């Protein structure tokens, strides 16, 4: 049982480049989330989804887009990367949130 899998694990981008982070879960969870983690800032919610075909904005959505075309996958896109998007990105999934989240192992993104 793989749980939540994030790819890639590391990436270096140049300013202005685009990329997509993939999150896949095999637990049949309805809810999926993208967070970023920065030193001293804790975890901040970027976007989330409450089911296949749905997405919603979190606390810090600017500069990111997401899609949930299949229940098991949640994609996070950066259209034009900026140095301020250097961070560690975590995906998570859950049944209803009150059950708790399962997190992936993270993607460390550096924008130069």
Partner 1 sequence: GDSVTQMEGPVTLSEEAFLTINCTYTATGYPSLFWYVQYPGEGLQLLLKATKADDKGSNKGFEATYRKETTSFHLEKGSVQVSDSAVYFCALSLGSQGNLIFGKGTKLSVKP
Of the candidate residues 2, 10, 14, 40, the single one contacting partner 1 (CB under 8 A):
40
Applying CB under 8 A, does 90 fall inside the site for partner 1?
yes
Conformational region of residue 3, where left means phi above 0, alpha means psi within -120 to 50, and beta covers everything else: left
71, 77 contact by CB (below 8 A): no
Out of 12, 27, 41, 82, name the contact with partner 1 by CB under 8 A: 41
Under rule CB under 8 A, residue 100 binds partner 1? yes
Q: Select 17 or 102, whichever has its Cβ closest to partner 1.
A: 102
Pairing outcome for strands 10-13 and 107-111: parallel
28 binds partner 1 (CB under 8 A): no
Q: Do residues 78 and 66 lie in contact, with contact meaning Cβ atoms separated by under 8 Å? A: no
Tell me the pairing of strands 42-49 and 56-57.
antiparallel
Answer yes or no whether residue 106 interacts with partner 1 by CB under 8 A: yes
Told to check if 61 binds partner 1 by CB under 8 A, we report no
Count Cα atoms within 13 angstroms, Cβ side, for 5.
9
Q: Quote the DSSP letter at residue 95.
A: S
Tell whether residue 60 is a contact of partner 1 (CB under 8 A).
no
Task: Return residues touching partner 1 (CB under 8 A).
Answer: 4, 33, 40-43, 45, 48, 50, 58, 90, 92, 96-98, 100-106
């Amino acid at each position: 049982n793989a749980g939540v899998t994030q790819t890639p694990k590391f990436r270096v981008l140049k300013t202005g480049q685009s990329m997509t982070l993939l999150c896949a879960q095999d637990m049949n969870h309805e809810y999926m989330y993208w967070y970023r983690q920065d030193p001293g800032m804790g975890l901040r919610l970027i976007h989330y989804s409450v089911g296949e075909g749905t997405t919603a904005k979190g606390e810090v959505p600017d500069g990111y887009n997401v899609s949930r075309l299949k229940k098991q996958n949640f994609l996070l896109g950066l259209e034009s990367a900026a140095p301020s998007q250097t961070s560690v990105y975590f995906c998570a999934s859950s049944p209803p949130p009150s059950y708790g989240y399962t997190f992936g192992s993270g993607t460390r993104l550096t924008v130069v």
